[in-house]
Amino acid sequence: MRTNEISFRIRYSETDQMGVVYHGNYAQYLELARVEWLRSLGISYKSMEEGGIMLPVISLSINYLKPALYDDLITVKVILTKKPAVRIEFDYEITNESGELLATANTVLVFMDMKRKRPTKCPKILLDKLNY
């Protein structure tokens, strides 16, 4: 599965005084989508860390097109852009209940050996799940 979607409602605490989602919260929405994408493959981020691999973000880009508002039901679609190697790259589309595109984004993460604190190859278990 190279794509996955999650949906959730915007909470009041995520908005400013105008009821608009604070821009910094979008990075958390992207993380939530990535973690659930992994889980949909049968791999938890927690188990990866227990196995000595972490995934720090090395690049983040967000294009804000329309505001997400308090109590909106939004959907975050995460798309794996290419076969992971030492890096893994995702594109995202965030839409509201009406299907309006609110934001697009891109992240690049690197597989990191926690003991050596050095980049490492994508775990075989993930490549197997992706049929690469």
16 is annotated as an active-site residue? yes
| pLDDT tens column, 21-69 | 999 999 999 999 999 999 999 999 999 999 999 999 999 999 999 999 9
What is d(CA 45, CA 131) in angstroms, rounded to the nearest whole number?
19
- pTM for this prediction: 0.94
Query: Is the pLDDT assigned to residue 1 strictly greater than 80?
Result: no
What is d(CA 49, CA 68) in angstroms, rounded to the nearest whole number?
32
Per the DSSP assignment, residues forming a β-bridge with 107 are 60, 90
Residue given tokens 């009406």 in the structure block: 98
User: Does 3-130 carry CATH code 3.40.1360.10?
Assistant: no
| pLDDT tens column, 84-113 | 999 999 999 999 999 999 999 999 999 999
Q: Exactly one of 16, 71, 113, 128 is catalytic; which is it?
A: 16
Contact 30, 64 (CB under 8 A): no
Listed by start position, the domains of the chain span: 3-130
